[in-house]
Amino acid sequence: MKTSNKMDFLRSLIDRGDIYYNIKGSSPEAALSSFSKVLRLPKTMDRLGLERALIEREGLGTTALGEGFAIPHSRKQVAVDEASAFVAVAYLDTAIDWKAPDGKPVTTLFLILSAGVENHLSVLSGIACLAGKSEFRVFMARRPSKKELLEYLQAHGDGVGCQA
């Protein structure tokens, strides 16, 4: 699915995904393992393969953005097609040292499962842009529900300067 607006596209992927609370782990690898075990995945996705791909990618370099956010993702295409692509959000049980550029521990994950490079890069840049906005960081610190997050993106997405 392609849209001309990266915030609309990001909203659609979050709408297909879900939000998970209190994901446990004392390291990025442990948190990714815990998260991958509770994710609701399409039947075509291999859960163990996804877990391994996320941990392998993290081993190449941190996916932490700073300001408490990380965007774990696989180097390989995981979703079979755009219809099975989604973004899932995880609020960690405790903050984890994710080797973020700013040194701040990570509290929130935006897991990206995409089917194509162009859309993957659009989602990455959209999340990175949002994470750079203090208003968004304050909002996310409240650990909003999926409905609240989608409403926020609908109301504020076009005004945050994160357009394609």
Q: What pTM was computed for the model?
A: 0.91
**Residues annotated as catalytic (active site), given as ranges:** 73
Strands 86-96 and 19-23: parallel
**Within-domain flag for 164:** no
pLDDT band of 43, cuts 50, 70, 90:
confident
The 3-state DSSP composition of the chain as helix, strand, coil percent (nearest 5) reads 45, 20, 35
CB 162 within 8 A of CB 129: yes
Q: What is the mean pLDDT of residues 145-157?
A: 92
Length of the chain: 164
Q: In degrees rounded to 5, what are phi and psi of residue 151?
A: -65, -40
CB 31 within 8 A of CB 92: yes
For the record, the structure tokens of 135 come out as 């208003």
Residue 106 has a CB neighbour count (10 Å cut-off) of 26
End-to-end CA distance of the chain: 15
What is the spatial distance between Cα 39 and Cα 19, in angstroms, rounded to a whole number? Answer: 9
For the record, the structure tokens of 143 come out as 């650990």
Q: How many domains does the chain have?
A: 1
**Within-domain flag for 84:** yes
Q: What is the mean pLDDT of residues 76-88?
A: 77
Comparing 49 with 81, which gets the higher pLDDT?
49
**Within-domain flag for 1:** no
**Within-domain flag for 121:** yes
CATH code of residue 45: 3.40.930.10
**What pLDDT score does 140 carry?**
98
CB 62 within 8 A of CB 100: yes
Mean pLDDT, the chain, as a whole number? 89
pLDDT band of 153, cuts 50, 70, 90:
very high
pLDDT band of 3, cuts 50, 70, 90:
very low
Single-letter amino acid, residue 77:
Q
CB 1 within 8 A of CB 87: no
**Within-domain flag for 106:** yes
Give the residue numbers spanning the domain of 93: 6-157
Q: What is the mean pLDDT of residues 20-47?
A: 94
